Structures are given as structure tokens and as C-alpha cells.
């Protein structure tokens, strides 16, 4: 087998034109010649492919090549319609391939409805790069795709900073600059961290917070403080004092006007959320009210962050709200967690948020409340939750104008309220006698 | 040395060859010996006995020696490689291959350059001498080595198996009618010749014959014309470029850069006039007046130079090269429109995003705006933005051109007689006229209007070239075809306007590039010399030279005299794009193997090779206004930005420190190199002079262009089929 072209085909063609006897050498020679001619055509066709700025050969290219070589082109092949090959068997293990060529019925073709007009060629513009950096917009490949290292030079002489800029720090190239802290700053950091954890000396603590709150030169230390807080919160979940001090520390840093805190917000939010909705904060000797006040502190921190920094990161607020709502709707979480989540949520999202996020979920939540009220151990917690829910409803009702319309009779109102928000809360609302509350609950569209 | 390996093939090749087996060397001299075997054996015996009896001892020993090469039956033993029939090339080539791999490390890169021409000529010789089977086995055995550098040639060579193919195949024609030029140092050459003469009988003579017949070996000292072949340079490259051809190697056979293909041509290059020709003094005055007016209307912001200062500065700048006189290539006198364009050019140049020549290591951060075309069904073959960024024209496989306004505003269409848009305004128009796929498009020079009351300075004409062999000129007012230029009798691959819009260049399948002017329908100049298609072309910014790329060479032609002044070889793939730098000093050319080469025009040598693009073609190159940054784009859907001025040698300082640096660089890379070498063969190596690479989602980028303000505008059709 010396040629790619099967010599048997040559024999078949010869027989078809009436030459029955052919020397084997002649057949082989012809087959090789066919090889050569075909490759000549392909070589020409590749030129057309290249000039059409493609990397796949089309039948059009072959047609053009044949024309250039002064050969009659093959008609009837179209690139836009993919070639379909049929398979038939002429014997065991001898498949025969052929091009499927449908017979077209003119009658049908003429009467067929016109095909859909294909969509017109159009173009869109976007920034592939701005000042040498690819913006992460949907039109560009995601950073994960483009972070493959083979786009950038490697090896000796390659510029390491280029690679670092592209986010390839992991490829054995560490950023060249080490973060150097002056010894004064290190000392300061040590002093502050011991001071805030000093349970005995309140004055010392306050001085530390004051310093954190006012000192303009702390920017270098922010990541260290964030790390310190995260670590303490993770490891001292049982110590209410430590948790509270950590929240105070964060608050002091947040209030410091001279710090550019935005890049770090994402990294200390988890700590605050832990203090807000954690399952078991403090140990059994701590009074429940102390735990609740910690949660309230955390909640107010979250709220102030979302208000102050929500503008710079437009996803911050929705993300926080989603996290809190999830905690609230998770029946496996204990009631105090729900309390924390609700407390922060109702203050963060405002009246409209309460109406869309909290009220519609109350009817389902009723089961948990009832269970809590029935259980002696949990009753106190349940009452706390009810009180925060009432507060939430008040928030929800705060921008509702009180109507002077006639009021239905109390029993009827009660059934309607119970129907809307469940037994426990329904009763509470009616008992409160606040018609604004009743109204907001009744008028909230529950089936969102 | 034994007979068996030769025997079967001999019979095979005789059986396969045509009856006139006498053509095959080595086949003829053994046929008659077979029938007379017994008598000859006896005869020798008798004669020897006779000679010894008579005491002719010298004659006897001579006869003994000469008859020793016959086996017991009197058939001659095959000792000489030439007698092995079709196998002789295999033996010879294997000999050369073994030698190249055994030889001292210093000679290896040079000698390995011989392998390719010897391989080609072995294959061709086998085909010519009716050894189709041997030719095939030879090809299959040894072709692996060249797949990287000579892929397309291998494809063409593979099917050349008969004498008539050698006559017809384009590659065979090129190799048979030219001598392949290789430069060797005298030491390497002597080592090779000594070795081949020593092993003459084992195939050395076959190789020597090939070398003498088809190769032109230049003996040059290291550090001579091929300075990059010096030992230090080779060490510094860490062996990565052994498999890339030298600048002066190959078929045209010329001194580096020179277009003179006479083998005895002196290594001397004609001087080039690369600076821009001076402006007409009257026009200069007009421009000054306009600039002063523009300056008073829009006074420069604080810290900004006035337009006039900018202009004076550009004139005063000491040109590094001599400039041609203004009438070297005659141009029509400057009109008000040209002066307004000049003013706008100066303004854009002043307000550009500056790319400093010595950037701080990271390189400038350029901005790229990408125009993605949808619903094209792979039918776009070419794309071009007008220089004023008003229009984008796209050529389709279906023989039409479509023009859009870039910003989506209605396309200004002038209907004869009145200036109105009778029909609803549209932002695109189809230009129908060609009868084959459109492969080349070019807008005439244009700028946005410098001011409200200035004459219209937008691009006025669009040129298109097509597979139907015509070039068409379209007016940008009415969007109708104005002229059809016929001259090429085969597809026209590329068409380009000259820098002042009066002349244009076309390149075609007929191996000829032509210069035209719009008002004459016959070409003014024909540039003949390329061995195969002229794929791409471009003008030198001074307008007195043009460049053409094709058959793996880039040639520079002088328009006035019509002769070639430079020729650059070194590409290993088909050239897909060339572009001259705005300062006229450098030329960038790219091929479909992913290489970009920067050529320094005046000394006529290769400055560097930049790699990083994948295979499939780099379709577009463009220079920044300062001529220090190059942007490239292609089939691999990546736009890459390159630092042109960062040369490998720049890093190694000068003088004594150079050697140290070279050594340390080689030492530092030594350890990882061995590991990465194998991988590097497959992976695309990105050279360190790449500044950045921007990957598109699925859009092979057909066109990427620096505007005069150094913004990159790019366009491509999203590949809808791939998902």
C-alpha cells in the first residue's frame, strides 16, 4: 500500500469506462498520481482558507482552488449545509459510505412556506482592556479562564511583575515587596491588643479604643487587627467579654475617619455575623440578657456598615440581607439566632424591606413560635423573638398613613390576622391595638 | 557489510519501475552477471593459477583484491552506497544524521541546518529515479524532524513520488531550479567534508554529490555577517533556536537582507532613504497658518503644547536617515482637504495616549475596544476600519462588502442630484460588485473633521480585492463602485492605499505585486520576484518603498525604479501580515506559525523574533504612534501587545559584563531547561518581550489597529459554531 488512494478505486473507474485489463503497476502509478493531484488541489485550497482568515477548510475553498488550477469545479457542495454521509453494508464488515443526496420534490419545495429570515449580521462593542487590564464584564472571558499562565512569558528574562499583575502569584513568584512594619507600630499593636483584653482595667481599654478611633496613622495595621479579631472570635466563642471587646475594637476602627477601610470590610463581616447569629455564645453562667445585648451590638455594627459602605460595594447590602434572611428562615437554628438575624434585618432593610422580607414569612414561622411558647425552656427566647418581630412590624408600619376607615369587629380581625401571620403573632398584633400594625399586616401582599 | 538489506529492495524497485530499468543506478550492473556465474568463478581460478605460475605476482594480487568484492557465486558485493539502488539515500542520510548527532556541540546547530535540504533533495532524487517505494519509506522514516519548521512543505513533498510530479510540483520546481543556501563556519565545513570523504563508500559520496549539486554552502567566520551565530549568542539562546533558519538560509540564496540573489553578490546593501520626504514649502506655510488659527480658537490646556509647537517639533526633529526628495514619487499638490487632515493629524498626535520609549518594566497599559460581529456564520474574510474610525467595512465569502458606521449613526449616503436621505436612514450598506470572495479591503486616508468649517476630511474611497481577479474602487459618498481595475489574472489577496492616498498596492496569486494610481486603469509598476503567491503588502510611510510578503520571504521594493532593495528570510510559515513602523525604521511581519519578526531596515537584518501566538495565523499587526509598541491579533483569539525595543542583547549590557551575563544566564537556565525542553516543543513559548495578552471569549480577532491616539481598535466575528 504505497498510496493513500486505494488502487482498487482506480481499477473500478477503469472498468466503468470500459478498460477491463490493467497492469498492477499502472494502477499503482495512477493511484500515486491521484495522491499528488489531490494534494495539489488541497495546497491551493489552503491558500484560500488562509486568506479568508479561517482555520478550517471549506468546500468553497476547494471550488476556488479548482478554478485557479483551471479545472471544472465540483458543483452541489455547500459549506453552509454540513455533508451527511449514509452508511450501507455490502457484506459482513464491509461498510459502504455514500453522500446522502435527498430527492427534492419541486411541488413541495414551491408550496413550502418560506424559511425564516436569518438574523442579520450585526456587531457589538466592548472594552477588551482598559489601561492594560481586562475589565471583568460578561463580554470578556472570566478571570478564571484568562488566568492560565500560558498567555504570559515565562522563563529567564520574563518580567515577574507582569505575571504578578495578572494574578499568577502562585506560580513560584511571590510579590517582591514584603510588608514591613516599623517597630513602633508593632509595639502599638501589642499594647492595643493587650489593653482591650484587659478585663480589670476599663480605663486602659477606653484609652485603647479612643486611640484606635482617632489615630490617623493606623492604616498599616488594619489587616493585622482584622486578623486578630477574626482569630479571637473564632477561638473565644464562649467568652462574652472577648467577643464584646472585639466588636468594640471593630467599631473603633470603623469610626476612624482617616482609614480607608473598604477593602477589609468583606473580611471582618463574618466575625460580626458570628456574634450576631451564633448558636451558642458565651457559657451557661452568662445571663441571657448579656448575650442578647451582644447580639444587639453586633446588629447595630452590621447596620451601620451596610449604611455607610453599602454605596461603595453595591452587592454588600443584598448579600448581608440574604445571609440574615437565611438564618431567620432556617428552622434548625435556635431562637436566639433568629433573634439576632431579625434584629439586624429589620433595622437594615427599612419599612419596605420588612413588608417584603419578614411579614410574608410570618405564617410559616408561626409553627416555631408556638413550639417555643409551649416549651418552658424556650419561652423566654420565644418572647424575645416575638418582641423583635413586633418591633419589625412597627418598622414596617412606620411609613403607613393611618386610615380612618371603619374597623371590622375584633373577632373577625383576629381570624384574618391569624390567617395572615399565624396564631401567635396575629394575637399579639390584635392585642397591641395598634391599627397601623393591623393595616400593614393585612395589606401586605403575602403571595410574592 | 553484507548484502541482505539491499537485496529485497532492489528487486522491489526493479519490479516497480518502468521497463527501462537502466535509469536506476546500481540496478543495471548486476543483471548480466547472474547467468554467467559458474564460468566466471572458474575463469578467475584459472587465471589466478596461471598468473602465479608465471610469477606475475603484482597482477595476481591486484586481481585477487579486485575479485574479493564478489561473493562465492561471483555476484558483486554491494559495498558502495551508490550501488544500493534506492536505499543509497537512506544510507547516506542516516550517515549524515548520525554524524550531526555525534559531532561536537559547537558544530551541531550549523550542521543540523543541512539536514532539511539534503532531505528534500533525497526525496526528489528518489522520485526522479523511479523509486516510489523507497521514496516513501525514506520520507516516513525521516520526516518527523521537520514537522515544526516545514510542515506545509512536508505535505507537498509527501505526494511527490514520480518524475512527472517533480516536474509539476511547485515545491520541487523551486528546489530544483535554485540552490539552497546554507552558511557554515569553515571549521564545521571541514569537519563535515572530512567525515564524508572518510565514509565515502558508506554513503558519504551520495551526500557530497547532493551538496555539490543542489546546495550553495557559504563559508563564513563566526561573528561575520551572521553575528547571531556567534558562540556566545548561541549559548545565550540556550539552544532553543537551533531549529529556526538563519536569516540568509534558504532558497533565494542571498546575503542577509540583500535582494541580490547572485551567489557571488558582494555582501553590501543599497542605502535606503527612510525618513519622510519634506513637505512642500507652500503647503507648510498653509499648515502653519491653519495651526495658528486652530490654536487661537482652542487654546491649549495648561501643560499642553500648542499645535504649532507640536508641528515645529516634528519638523525640527533630526531625522536619523536621509529623506528622499519630494519628487521621488510624484504626488498631486496638497489641497485644502490635505492640509485640514494634516492639522487633525497633528492634533491627534498631540492628544495621544503617550507610550514612553523607556517604560518602567511593566510596559504601557493600552486600552482595547473590541467590536464583535454576530450571525456571520464564518463568512467574514476580511475587516477594515477606516482611519477616521467612522466606518468599518467587512468583506464576505459571498462576494459582497458591507459597510457600517462604527458608532451606529446613519450612514451618509449621497444620492445623485440631491443631498438628502430619501429612504429611511440606515447604518450599513452592502456593496455588491465582486464575483468572488473578498480578500482585501483598504480605506483611503482620512481623519475626523478638525473643525466645523473645514473641508470634509473623512475617508473618500474604499478599495477591495477579490478572488475574481479584480480590484474595485468604491466611493464613500454614494457607496457605488467607481472603477474596476483588471490586471491580475488570478485572485488578488491584498490591496493597500499608499500613505497619501494617491497610489495603491495590490498583491496576487499570480506571484506579482502591482502599483496603481486611481486615475489609470493599468498598473504603473509590477514587482516580480516572489517564488509563489504574494500574500500581503504594505507601504513604507515615506511612500517611496513598498513591502510584499509571500513564499516565506519579505521583500522591499523601490517604487520609482521598481527593483527590490531588501529581502528578508527567516519565516517558517506563510506570511499573514506585515506592517511598517510609523518612523520608517522597522518592519514587522507575522506568519501562520505564530512568529512575529521585527526587521531593521537600514542594516537589513533581523532584530528579533517574538513568539507567543498559537498556530493558525496572525492576521493583523499594528504599530503605536511612537513605533515602540506593536499589537498583534489572530486566530488564537488573543490580542497581544509587544515591546519592540526590548531586545535580547539590551539586557546583557556591554563590554565585559556581557560575557558574564551570558554565562550566568545560561547557567541559571540550565537546570530547568532540560525539563522544560520537551514540553516547550509542544507548548507555545511566549517570549519575554510581550507586554500583555488579552484573550477574547470566542472571537478570533481579524483586525487590531492602533489609532493615531494610541487606542487599540479591534474587530472579529464570534465563533458561533464552537459552542
Strands (E), A122-168: 122-129
Cβ contact A224:A268 at 8 Å = no
A130 found inside a domain? no
Host domain of residue A35: 7-99
Nearest to A123 among B377, B404, B695 (CB): B404
A340 found inside a domain? no
Cβ contact B596:B607 at 8 Å = no
Query: A350: left (phi > 0), else alpha (psi -120 to 50), else beta?
Result: left
Cβ contact A14:B148 at 8 Å = no
Distance CA B637, CA B660 (A): 40
Give residue for cell 516547550: B680
Pairwise CB contact (< 8 Å): B690 & A150: no
pTM of the full structure: 0.65
Chain B residues with CB under 8 Å of A32 CB are: 132, 159, 161-162
CATH T-level topology, domain B82-241? 1.25.40
ipTM of the complex: 0.77
Question: Are residues A358 and A284 both part of a single domain?
Answer: no
Interacting residues of A363 by C-beta distance below 8 A, sequence separation 6+: A419, A420, A421, A422, A446
Domain boundary among A298, A313, A328: A313
User: What is the pLDDT averaged over residues B585-596?
Assistant: 90
Q: Min CA distance, A179 vs chain B (Å)?
A: 21
pLDDT at res. B586? 92
Chain A residues with CB under 8 Å of B706 CB are: none
> What is each CA distance from B681 to A51, B113, B241, B505, in whole angstroms?
27, 18, 11, 38
Distance CA B44, CA B50 (A): 10
A254-279 confidence digits (pLDDT tens) = 888 777 787 788 888 888 888 888 87
pLDDT at res. A159? 52
pLDDT tier at B505 (50, 70, 90 boundaries)?
very high
Strands (E), B59-198: 180-184
Cβ contact B493:A51 at 8 Å = yes
pLDDT at res. B11? 39
B417-459 confidence digits (pLDDT tens) = 655 545 677 888 899 999 999 999 999 998 888 777 778 888 8
User: What is the pLDDT averaged over residues A357-384?
Assistant: 81
The CATH number assigned to the domain with range B368-722 reads 2.130.10.10
pLDDT at res. B513? 94
Q: Does A109 touch chain B (CB under 8 A)?
A: no
A405 found inside a domain? yes
pLDDT tier at B652 (50, 70, 90 boundaries)?
very low
Domain map (residue ranges) of chain B: 40-78, 82-241, 281-318+324-350, 368-722
Chain B residues with CB under 8 Å of A153 CB are: 612, 686-690
pLDDT at res. B452? 77
- Contact map slice: A 380-399 vs B, CB within 8 A: none
**Which of A309-323, B217-231, B259-273, B706-720 comes out lowest in average pLDDT?**
B217-231
Cβ contact B59:B51 at 8 Å = yes
Mean of the per-residue pLDDT values for chain A? 79
> What is each CA distance from B319 to A128, B274, B323, in whole angstroms?
36, 9, 8
Say whether pLDDT at B500 is over 80. Answer: yes
Nearest to A32 among B162, B509, B635 (CB): B162
Question: Are residues A195 and A88 both part of a single domain?
Answer: no
- Class of residue B187 by CB neighbours under 10 A (exposed 0-12, middle 13-18, buried 19+): middle
Distance CA B459, CA A351 (A): 60
Chain A residues with CB under 8 Å of B136 CB are: 2
User: What is the pLDDT averaged over residues A363-391?
Assistant: 82
Q: Does A78 touch chain B (CB under 8 A)?
A: no
Of B381, B354, B355, B385, which Cα lies nearest the Cα of B369? Answer: B385
Q: What 3-state DSSP class applies to B47?
A: helix
Distance CA A90, CA A86 (A): 13
pLDDT tier at B392 (50, 70, 90 boundaries)?
very high
Q: Of residues B527 and B155, which shows the higher confidence score?
A: B527
Say whether pLDDT at B99 is over 70. Answer: yes
Pairwise CB contact (< 8 Å): B378 & A54: yes
A59 found inside a domain? yes
Q: What cell was used for A238?
A: 464562649
Q: Does A121 touch chain B (CB under 8 A)?
A: yes
Say whether pLDDT at B31 is over 60. Answer: no
B281-294 confidence digits (pLDDT tens) = 888 888 888 888 88
Pairwise CB contact (< 8 Å): A157 & B688: yes
Output the CA angle B536-B542-B545, nearest 5 degrees.
45
Report the residue of A53, A69, A142, A148 to disrupt the B interface, i.e. the one with the largest count of B CBs within 10 Å.
A53
Mean of the per-residue pLDDT values for chain B? 77
B244-255 confidence digits (pLDDT tens) = 566 666 666 666
The pairing of beta strand A122-129 with beta strand B586-591: unpaired
Domains B82-241 and B368-722 share a fold: no
> What is each CA distance from B416 to B404, B430, B474, B477, in whole angstroms?
21, 18, 15, 10
Question: Are residues A216 and A278 both part of a single domain?
Answer: yes
Give the count of domains, chain A: 3
Cβ contact A368:A425 at 8 Å = no
pLDDT tier at B348 (50, 70, 90 boundaries)?
confident
Chain A residues with CB under 8 Å of B380 CB are: 53
User: What is the pLDDT averaged over residues B307-330?
Assistant: 75
Q: Does A141 touch chain B (CB under 8 A)?
A: yes
- Contact map slice: A 145-204 vs B, CB within 8 A: 145-146, 150-159, 161-162, 165
Cβ contact B67:B44 at 8 Å = yes
Pairwise CB contact (< 8 Å): B156 & A151: no
The residues pairing with B471 across neighbouring beta strands, listed in sequence order, are B465, B485
Question: Are residues A300 and A375 both part of a single domain?
Answer: no
Strands (E), A58-117: 85-89, 95-99
Q: Min CA distance, B382 vs chain A (Å)?
A: 7
How many of the other CB atoms lie within 10 Å of CB of A358? 23
Task: Outline where A21-132 has alpha helix (H).
Answer: 24-51, 59-68, 106-111
Interacting residues of B244 by C-beta distance below 8 A, sequence separation 6+: B149, B570, B572, B609
First-residue to last-residue Cα distance in chain B? 60
Domain boundary among A72, A99, A126: A99
Domain boundary among A313, A342, A373: A313
Q: What cell was used for A374?
A: 409551649
A297 found inside a domain? yes
Say whether pLDDT at A185 is over 80. Answer: yes
Amino acid at each position: 500500500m504505497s498510496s493513500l488512494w486505494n488502487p482498487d478505486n482506480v481499477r473500478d473507474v477503469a472498468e466503468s469506462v470500459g478498460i477491463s485489463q490493467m497492469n498492477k503497476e499502472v494502477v499503482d502509478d495512477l493511484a500515486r498520481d491521484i495522491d499528488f493531484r489531490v494534494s495539489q488541489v488541497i495546497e491551493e485550497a489552503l491558500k484560500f482558507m488562509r486568506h479568508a482568515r479561517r482555520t478550517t477548510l471549506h468546500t468553497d475553498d476547494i471550488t476556488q482552488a479548482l478554478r485557479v488550477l483551471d479545472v471544472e469545479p465540483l458543483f452541489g457542495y455547500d459549506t453552509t449545509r454540513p455533508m451527511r454521509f449514509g452508511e450501507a453494508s455490502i457484506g459482513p464488515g464491509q461498510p459502504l459510505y455514500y453522500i446522502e443526496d435527498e430527492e427534492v420534490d419541486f411541488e413541495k419545495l414551491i408550496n413550502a412556506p418560506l424559511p425564516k429570515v436569518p438574523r442579520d449580521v450585526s456587531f457589538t462593542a466592548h472594552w477588551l482592556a482598559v489601561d492594560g487590564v481586562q475589565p471583568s464584564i460578561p463580554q470578556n472571558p472570566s478571570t478564571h479562564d484568562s488566568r492560565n499562565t500560558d498567555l504570559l512569558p515565562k522563563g529567564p528574562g520574563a518580567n515577574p511583575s507582569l505575571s504578578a499583575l495578572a494574578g499568577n502569584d502562585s506560580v513560584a513568584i511571590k510579590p517582591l515587596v514584603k510588608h514591613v512594619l516599623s517597630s513602633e507600630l508593632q509595639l502599638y499593636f501589642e499594647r492595643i491588643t493587650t489593653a482591650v483584653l484587659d478585663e480589670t482595667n476599663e480605663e486602659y481599654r477606653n484609652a485603647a479604643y479612643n486611640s484606635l478611633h482617632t489615630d490617623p496613622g493606623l492604616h498599616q495595621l488594619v489587616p493585622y487587627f482584622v486578623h486578630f479579631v477574626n482569630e479571637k472570635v473564632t477561638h473565644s466563642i464562649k467568652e462574652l467579654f472577648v467577643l464584646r471587646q472585639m466588636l468594640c475594637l471593630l467599631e473603633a476602627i470603623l469610626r476612624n475617619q482617616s482609614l480607608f477601610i473598604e477593602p477589609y470590610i468583606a473580611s471582618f463581616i463574618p466575625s460580626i455575623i458570628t456574634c450576631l447569629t451564633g448558636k451558642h455564645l458565651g457559657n451557661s453562667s452568662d445571663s441571657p440578657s448579656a448575650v442578647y445585648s451582644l447580639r444587639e451590638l453586633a446588629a447595630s455594627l452590621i447596620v451601620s456598615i451596610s449604611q455607610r459602605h453599602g454605596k461603595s460595594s453595591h452587592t454588600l447590602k443584598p448579600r448581608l440581607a440574604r445571609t440574615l434572611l437565611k438564618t431567620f428562615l432556617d428552622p434548625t437554628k435556635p431562637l436566639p439566632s433568629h433573634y439576632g438575624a431579625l434584629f439586624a434585618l429589620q433595622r437594615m432593610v427599612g419599612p419596605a424591606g420588612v413588608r417584603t422580607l419578614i411579614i410574608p414569612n410570618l405564617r410559616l414561622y408561626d409553627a416555631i413560635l408556638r413550639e417555643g411558647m409551649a416549651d418552658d425552656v424556650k419561652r423566654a427566647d420565644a418572647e424575645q423573638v416575638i418582641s423583635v418581630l413586633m418591633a419589625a412590624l412597627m418598622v414596617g408600619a412606620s411609613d403607613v398613613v393611618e386610615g380612618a376607615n371603619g374597623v371590622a369587629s375584633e373577632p373577625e380581625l383576629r381570624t384574618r390576622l391569624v390567617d395572615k401571620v399565624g396564631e401567635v403573632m396575629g394575637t399579639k398584633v390584635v392585642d397591641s391595638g395598634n391599627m397601623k400594625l393591623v393595616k400593614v399586616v393585612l395589606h401586605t401582599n403575602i403571595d410574592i | 557489510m553484507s548484502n541482505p538489506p539491499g537485496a529485497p529492495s532492489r528487486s522491489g524497485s526493479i519490479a516497480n519501475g518502468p521497463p527501462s530499468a537502466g535509469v536506476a543506478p546500481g540496478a543495471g550492473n548486476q543483471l548480466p552477471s547472474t547467468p554467467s556465474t559458474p564460468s566466471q568463478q572458474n575463469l578467475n581460478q584459472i587465471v589466478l593459477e596461471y598468473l602465479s605460475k608465471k610469477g606475475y605476482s603484482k597482477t595476481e594480487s591486484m586481481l585477487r583484491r579486485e575479485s574479493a568484492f564478489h561473493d562465492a557465486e561471483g555476484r558483486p558485493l554491494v559495498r558502495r552506497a551508490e550501488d544500493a539502488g534506492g536505499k543509497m539515500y537512506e544510507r547516506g542520510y542516516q550517515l549524515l544524521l548520525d554524524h550531526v548527532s555525534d559531532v561536537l556541540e559547537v558544530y551541531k546547530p550549523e550542521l543540523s541546518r543541512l539536514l532539511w535540504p539534503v532531505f528534500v533533495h533525497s526525496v526528489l532524487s528518489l522520485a526522479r529515479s523511479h523509486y516510489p517505494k523507497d521514496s516513501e519509506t525514506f520520507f516516513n522514516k525521516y520526516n518527523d524532524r521537520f514537522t515544526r519548521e516545514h510542515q506545509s512543505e512536508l505535505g507537498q513533498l509527501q505526494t511527490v513520488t514520480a518524475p512527472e510530479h517533480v516536474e509539476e510540483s511547485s515545491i520541487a520546481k523551486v528546489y530544483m531550479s535554485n540552490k539552497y543556501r546554507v552558511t557554515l563556519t569553515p571549521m564545521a565545513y571541514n569537519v563535515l567534508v572530512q567525515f564524508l570523504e572518510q565514509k565515502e563508500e558508506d554513503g558519504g559520496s551520495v551526500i557530497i554529490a547532493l551538496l555539490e549539486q543542489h546546495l550553495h554552502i557559504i563559508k563564513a567566520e563566526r561573528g561575520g555577517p551572521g553575528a547571531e551565530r556567534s558562540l556566545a549568542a548561541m549559548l545565550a539562546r540556550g539552544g532553543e533556536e537551533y531549529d529556526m533558519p538563519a536569516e540568509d538560509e534558504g532558497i533565494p540564496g542571498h546575503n542577509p537582507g540583500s535582494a541580490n540573489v547572485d551567489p557571488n553578490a558582494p555582501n553590501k546593501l543599497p542605502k535606503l532613504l527612510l525618513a519622510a520626504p519634506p513637505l512642500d514649502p507652500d503647503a507648510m506655510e498653509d499648515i502653519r497658518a491653519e495651526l495658528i488659527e486652530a490654536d487661537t480658537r482652542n487654546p491649549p490646556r495648561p501643560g499642553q503644547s500648542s499645535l504649532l509647537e507640536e508641528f515645529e517639533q516634528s519638523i525640527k526633529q533630526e531625522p536619523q536617515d536621509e529623506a528622499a526628495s519630494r519628487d521621488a514619487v510624484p504626488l498631486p499638490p496638497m489641497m485644502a482637504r490635505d492640509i485640514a487632515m494634516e492639522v487633525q493629524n497633528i492634533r491627534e498626535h498631540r492628544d495621544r495616549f503617550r507610550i514612553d520609549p523607556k517604560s518602567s518594566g511593566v510596559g504601557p497599559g493600552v486600552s482595547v475596544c473590541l467590536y464583535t460581529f454576530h450571525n456571520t456564520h464564518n463568512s467574514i474574510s476580511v475587516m477594515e476600519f477606516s482611519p477616521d474610525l467612522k466606518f468599518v467595512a467587512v468583506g464576505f465569502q459571498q462576494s459582497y462588502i458591507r459597510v457600517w458606521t462604527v458608532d451606529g449613526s446613519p450612514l451618509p449616503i449621497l444620492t445623485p442630484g440631491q443631498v438628502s436621505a430619501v429612504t429611511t436612514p440606515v447604518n450599513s450598506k452592502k456593496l455588491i460588485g465582486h464575483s468572488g470572495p473578498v480578500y482585501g479591503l483598504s480605506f483611503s486616508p482620512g481623519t475626523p473633521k478638525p473643525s466645523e468649517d473645514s473641508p470634509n476630511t473623512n475617508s473618500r474611497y474604499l478599495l477591495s480585492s477579490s478572488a475574481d481577479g479584480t480590484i474595485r474602487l468604491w466611493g464613500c459618498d454614494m457607496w457605488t463602485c467607481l472603477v474596476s481595475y483588471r490586471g491580475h489574472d488570478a485572485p488578488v489577496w491584498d490591496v493597500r492605499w499608499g500613505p497619501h492616498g494617491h497610489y495603491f498596492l495590490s498583491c496576487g496569486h499570480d506571484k506579482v505585486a502591482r502599483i496603481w494610481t486611481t486615475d489609470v486603469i493599468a498598473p504603473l509598476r509590477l514587482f516580480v520576484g516572489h517564488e509563489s503567491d504574494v500574500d500581503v503588502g504594505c507601504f513604507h510611510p515615506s511612500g517611496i518603498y513598498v513591502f510584499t510578503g509571500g513564499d516565506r520571504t519579505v521583500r522591499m521594493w523601490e517604487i520609482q525604479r521598481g527593483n527590490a532593495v531588501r529581502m528578508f528570510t527567516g519565516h517558517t510559515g506563510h506570511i499573514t501580515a506585515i506592517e511598517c513602523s510609523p518612523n520608517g525604521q522597522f518592519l514587522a511581519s507575522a506568519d501562520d506559525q505564530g512568529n512575529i519578526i521585527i526587521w531593521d531596515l537600514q542594516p537589513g537584518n533581523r532584530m528579533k523574533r517574538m513568539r507567543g501566538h498559537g498556530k493558525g495565523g496572525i492576521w493583523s499587526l499594528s504599530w503605536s504612534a511612537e513605533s515602540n509598541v506593536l499589537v498583534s491579533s489572530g486566530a488564537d483569539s488573543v490580542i497581544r501587545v509587544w515591546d519592540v525595543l526590548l531586545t535580547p542583547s539590551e539586557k546583557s549590557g556591554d563590554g565585559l559584563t556581557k560575557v558574564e551575563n551570558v554565562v550566568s544566564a545560561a547557567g541559571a537556565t540550565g537546570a530547568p531547561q532540560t525539563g522544560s525542553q520537551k514540553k516547550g516543543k509542544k507548548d507555545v513559548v511566549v517570549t519575554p518581550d510581550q507586554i500583555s495578552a488579552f484573550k477574547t471569549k470566542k472571537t478570533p480577532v481579524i483586525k487590531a489597529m492602533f489609532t493615531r491616539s494610541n487606542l487599540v481598535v479591534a474587530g472579529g466575528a464570534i465563533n458561533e459554531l464552537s459552542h
